[in-house]
Amino acid sequence: MSRAVRFAPLVLLLAIIVALVWRLATPADTNVHSTLEGRPVPAFDLPAILPNKPALSSADLASGQPHLVNIFASWCVPCVTEVKVLQELKGKGVPIEGIAIRDRPADLADFLSRNGDPYERIGSDSQSQVQISLGSSGVPESFVVDGKGVVRFQQIGPIEASDVPMILSKLEQAR
Amino acid sequence: MIAETGLAALWLAAGLAALQFLLMILGLRSGADVRRAMRSIAIIQGVLTLIAFAMLLMVFARSDMSVALVFENSNSAKPFIYKVAGAWGNHEGSMLMWLTILAVAGAFVALLAHRTSERTTTAALGAQALLALGFYAFLLFASNPFARLSPAPMDGQGLNPLLQDPGLAFHPPTLYLGYVGLSVAFSFAVGALLTGEVDSRLARAMRPWVLGAWILLTLGITAGSYWAYYELGWGGYWFWDPVENASLMPWLAATALLHSINVLAARGALKAWTMMLAVIAFSMSMVGTFLVRSGILTSVHAFAIDPERGTFLLALLAIYVGAAFILFAVRAPALKEGAPFELVSRESGLVINNLILSVILGVVFVGTLYPLFVEAVTGEKLSVGAPYFDAVAGPLALLLAVLVGIGPLVAWRRERRPVFKQLAIPALFGITALAITIILDSGMRILPRLGFTVGAYLAAASFLPLANRNPIRAPLATWGMALAHFGIAVALAGMAANAAFSSERLAVAKPGDILTVGPWSVMLADVTPTAGKNWTAIEAELRASRGSGAITLAPESRFYSDPPTETSESAIRTFWNGQLYTVIGKQDGSGAWQLRLWWKPFVTLIWAGGALIAIGGALALLGRLWRLVWWPWRKREWRQERYA
């Protein structure tokens, strides 16, 4: 057994210890910043879920104007309150696109008729694939995407009424 | 007084551990007396730690709130069983339990080790004492479990309600017993590297410990997986969470060690590799303990975190593992390896087994620590998720499962017979399963499909080693091996069924609504408030039916008051062909509730497989211990062991 092989485990251990010590020494920043901000939306092409709603693909987002992409589901309770805020944003001229996570057409139609429908398009992400590629870990989440299809901002959790001015300014900056 | 007695016993035990280590240095040079004294000291040290641990159990059982640890982790309103389990459901208590098991294992080594030479046993006991010393220092200086509070508070602060579950009472002790069993293997390896006596006798002395540790780790992982499945309410059985990985890594290393140690025992080969594995297996348990205790990686298990204690554990890890690696680097050249292996032989089969297990271990290790390294180098935060682990470890595990069917058929030294002929029937099983999956569901993804195929093949192949001889006269260890390998097949089939056939239903429902999931229609009949000893809850009444007859399930969403926490208690009903899994979530304000329903065909096979693997291990251990006990009475000619 050569000297290099014999000492390899030791060297590896030292490297790991150094990394762990570094990690223990630097206090962790527990805020998660979206790594997608400033990057183009990953390519996707989601099928329609409702007959009266067009499907959603990443190409639809690069249309020249900023969009708000909302990740939601009919089974998501916070989404119910969020929809009302989205209606308000829609009233201010914001184009809102929806990605429905693990949803069913009948449930979704019911959800929209009961709570209102702010969406221009809705894509069906039945296995959460696009949600994962967008770096979203729950519902609801929203993304401000500029006219070139680049993510400008990620909102984790519901957009509340008090967030409206902030979302509008993010959309304005993305213009 | 109880707490003070415990503390005194702990200090005495620490003193004895120091003495035990010093005597090793003497004992290696001279004196059978010194070596005998060491054995006695190891036994007394074990008894003293048992006393200390019993005292801790007692203060918890009596809810003595003047002890800080009881105040922080218990509450007089808790059910008695969780009061006692609370003793190890916290950092200090669990470290004391760790140390107690370590010292008691040391005592058993002192009592039982007669296979290795006196010098190697002495060195191993010294190594065990040095290991224990670090943990004594840790407990006595950095996390005293017996510290008092003055004045004594009226009542305690409770226990994380997620942990208030029968699973908790046994999950950590099982894993700790497993970790500590690996520490004995570590100590034997260090001892043998010191004396240079790495031979088949050492392998036979180590084997019961490794086997015992491996059985307990298997049980611990299986139980932990089921706990996460029903308690966290996510419907998954494995999340590749850092702390789950922390328990998987020692298991992978122990599994490799379990197989390589047979090569050392039977052929006196793979010396350096087996010693390395013994060191790595225990290092992985320390890494596991460190990851859980330091909270360095965020995880669902983040109830146990403290950076300062993390630093202490990291220092211990660096010292012990570093020292063992240095010893290895210095002593490895002196180990004489036997003759090279024939290409087709049991030995090379086991080498391939070890290679694949090591690669899987590497994959899990890198995946677990990768986020840390990336953040250290680039500052970027990321997490490595199930898609990576599934995609890399999945195919490797399947490949290994294929080879598991072949390996035990190959003879030691050199195989001249055409082994592959025997595999015709298992191969037929596999092809039939493949055909059925294609007929049933042509769109099935590749991994579940292969899982069914390999599972069916291995289910048949695992029993071939028994078919080749009279099964009744086959050694218990061979039966154990066949059963454990069959368990792999069963677990594989369960995982494949879960991946391929699970149906999921997420919906917001009002009382009276009917939802369908798989073959079931489930009606939300009612939602009512309910209360327990230290919690209140809302409970859903679900009536589920598939065709004839309805069953009732009652998932709960619980609110604990001390400390304020919300948990979801899933309601699960098991049938021969699957589980119906139901969870109730939040209310939407208009009288509707969030419901999550899953129908998971044959999912229970996953844990049944895990249990079979452990039972197989237990049979093998029983067989080995039987020989250990009866050996001295047998005639010399009979000693020629046949290795399974």
Contact, B56 vs B96, CB < 8 A?
A: yes
pLDDT at B419 over 60: yes
Which whole-number Å values give the CA distances from B332 to A84, B44, B130, B444, in the listed order? Answer: 70, 34, 22, 49
User: Picking from A104-118, B271-285, B558-572, which range would have the lowest pLDDT averaged per residue?
Assistant: B558-572
Question: Is 70 exceeded by the pLDDT of residue A19?
Answer: yes
Contact residues of B toward A, CB < 8 A: 272, 276, 279-280, 283, 290, 294, 296, 307, 310-311, 314, 317-318, 321-322, 325-326, 328-329, 332-333, 369, 372-373, 375-376, 380-382, 385, 387, 504, 506-508, 585-590, 594-596
Which of B274, B287, B506, B566 is the mutation pick for testing A, counting most A CBs within 10 A? B506
Q: Return the residue in A18, A30, A72, A75 with the most chain B beta carbons within 10 A, the one to mutate for interface testing.
A: A75
Quote the mean pLDDT of chain B.
85
With a CB cutoff of 8 Å and minimum separation 6, the contacts of A157 are: A78, A138, A140, A141
Confidence at B168, pLDDT banded by 50, 70, 90: low
Q: How far is A63 from chain B (nearest CA, A)?
A: 30
Q: For B380-405, what is the HEC assignment?
A: CCCCCCHHHHHHHHHHHHHHHHHHHH
| Of A3 and B128, the one with more pLDDT | B128
* DSSP H/E element including B460: helix B446-461
Min distance A64 CA to chain B CA atoms (Å): 30
Contacts of A75 in chain B (CB under 8 A): 506-508, 594-596
> Which of A11, A71, A77, A125 should we substitute to test contact with B (largest number of B Cβ atoms within 10 Å)?
A77
* Contact status, residue A100 vs residue A132, Cβ threshold 8 Å: no
Amino acid (1-letter code) at residue B259: H
pLDDT at B640: 45
Residues of B in contact with A126 (CB under 8 A): none
3-class SS letters over B529-540: EEECCCEEEEEE
- pLDDT of the residue at B306: 60
Domain count, chain A: 1
More confident residue, A174 or B184: B184
Pick from B45, B290, B501, B631: nearest CA to A21: B290
Q: A10 and B594: CB-CB below 8 Å? A: no
Task: Measure A150 CA to nearest chain B CA, in Å.
Answer: 19
State the pLDDT at residue B72: 80
- Taking only the tens place, the pLDDT of each residue in A57-88 is 988 888 888 999 999 998 888 888 899 999 99
DSSP secondary structure, B53-86, as one string: HHHHHHHHHTT-TTBHHHHHH--TTS-HHHHHHT
Amino acid at B239: F
Question: Tokens 């790991």 appear where?
Answer: A16
CATH of the domain at A126: 3.40.30.10
| pLDDT of B642 higher than 60 | no
Q: What is the pLDDT, as a whole number, of residue B591? A: 78
Question: How is residue B295 written in tokens?
Answer: 């909270």
Segment A29-49, tens digit of pLDDT = 555 566 678 888 888 999 999
Cβ proximity of B273 and A2 under 8 Å: no
pLDDT recorded at residue B303: 44
The kind and range of the H/E element at B506 are strand B503-509
| pLDDT score of B637 | 40
Position B474 scores a pLDDT of 81
In this prediction, residue B635 carries a pLDDT of 42
Least confident of A35-49, B198-212, B352-366: A35-49
Provide, rounded to the nearest whole percent, the portion of chain B with pLDDT above 70.
91
Q: Does the residue A124 lie in any domain? A: yes
Question: How far apart are alpha carbons B504 and B488 in whole angstroms?
Answer: 26
Q: Is A2 on the interface with B (CB under 8 A)?
A: no
Distances (CA, A) of B307 to B56, B95, B225, B296: 24, 15, 26, 8
* Structure-token pair, residue B136: 């004594």
Residue A12 lies in a domain: no
Quote the CA–CA distance of A103 and A53 in Å, as a whole number: 15
Averaged pLDDT, A91-105:
91
Q: What are the two backbone dihedrals, phi and then psi, of residue B257, each rounded to the nearest 5 degrees?
A: -60, -45
Considering only alpha carbons, which residue of chain B is nearest residue A107? B507
Closest-CA residue in chain A for B322?
A: A10
Strands A96-101 and A67-72: parallel
Q: How many CB atoms lie within 10 A of CB B607?
A: 18
Question: Nearest C-alpha of chain A: how many angstroms from B564?
Answer: 21
**A130 inside domain:** yes
Range of the domain at A87: 45-173
Q: Is the Cβ pair A6, B314 closer than 8 Å?
A: no
Of residues B327 and A174, more confidently modeled: B327
- Kindly state whether residue A29 falls inside one of the protein's structural domains: no
Q: Is residue A74 within 8 angstroms of chain B, CB to CB? A: yes
CA distance linking residue B319 with residue A67, whole number of Å: 56
Of A13, A20, A77, nearest to B585 by CB-CB distance is A77
Q: State residue B301's pLDDT score.
A: 46
Residue B633: the pLDDT is: 52
**Is A14 touching B (CB cutoff 8 A)?**
yes
pLDDT tens readout for residues B443-478: 888 899 999 999 999 999 999 888 877 777 788 888
Number of H helices and E strands in chain A, helices first, is 6, 7
Q: Quick one: average pLDDT of B317-344?
A: 85
Select from B96, B124, B119, B132 the least CA-distant residue to B17: B132
Stated as kind and residue range, the H or E segment containing B104 is helix B91-112
Asked if the structure places residue A34 within a domain, the reply is: no
Neighbours of B36 (CB within 10 A): 14
Distance from CA of A62 to the nearest CA of B (A): 27
- pLDDT (tens digit, 9 = 90+) per residue, B129-151? 999 999 999 899 888 888 888 77
Reply yes or no on whether the pLDDT at B250 is more than 90: yes
Residue B55 forms beta bridges with which residues? none
- Closest by alpha carbon to B530, among B565, B559, B509? B559
From residue B171, alpha-carbon distances to A24, B174, B216 in Å are 27, 5, 10
Dump the DSSP string for B587-601.
E-SSS-EEEEEEEEE
Nearest chain A CA: its distance from B307 CA (Å)? 6
Give me the residue from A3, A6, A107 closest to B507, CB to CB.
Answer: A107
B595: chain A residues, CB-CB within 8 Å? 75
Mean per-residue pLDDT, B99-127: 88
Nearest CA to B490 out of B452, B463, B437 is that of: B452
Q: How far apart are the CA of B642 and the nearest CA of chain A, in angstroms? A: 31
Query: DSSP E strands: which ranges in B518-633?
Result: 520-531, 535-545, 550-553, 556-560, 565-569, 571-575, 578-587, 593-601
Nearest CA in chain B to A31: B381
Res B298 pLDDT > 60: no
Alpha-carbon distance of A65 to A147, in angstroms, equals 4
Q: Do B594 and A75 touch (CB under 8 A)?
A: yes
Q: What is the pLDDT of residue B87?
A: 84
What would the mean pLDDT of B305-330 be, rounded to a whole number?
85
Cβ pair A153, A143 in contact under 8 A: yes
The mean pLDDT value for B46-65 works out to: 91
Helix (H) or strand (E) holding B310: helix B307-331
Residue in B27, B219, B191 with CA at minimum distance from that of residue B109: B191
pLDDT in tens, B467-512: 877 777 788 888 999 999 999 999 999 999 998 999 888 888 888 8
Give strand ranges (E) for chain A: 45-46, 56-57, 67-72, 96-101, 121-125, 141-145, 151-156
Q: Which of A10, A24, A29 comes nearest B314 by C-beta?
A: A24
Residue A122 lies in a domain: yes
Residue pLDDT, tens place only, B575-589: 988 999 999 887 776
pLDDT at B178 over 60: yes
Quick one: which of B53, B193, B27 has its CA closest to B110? B27
Model confidence at A163: pLDDT above 80: yes
Return the CA Rg of chain B.
26
* CA gap B163, B535 in Å, rounded: 14
Token readout for A120 is 């221009």
Predicted pLDDT at B442: 84
Q: How far is B205 from B212, CA to CA, in rounded Å?
A: 12
Judge whether residue B152 has pLDDT over 80. no
Task: Please check the confidence at residue B643 and state whether its pLDDT lies above 50.
Answer: no
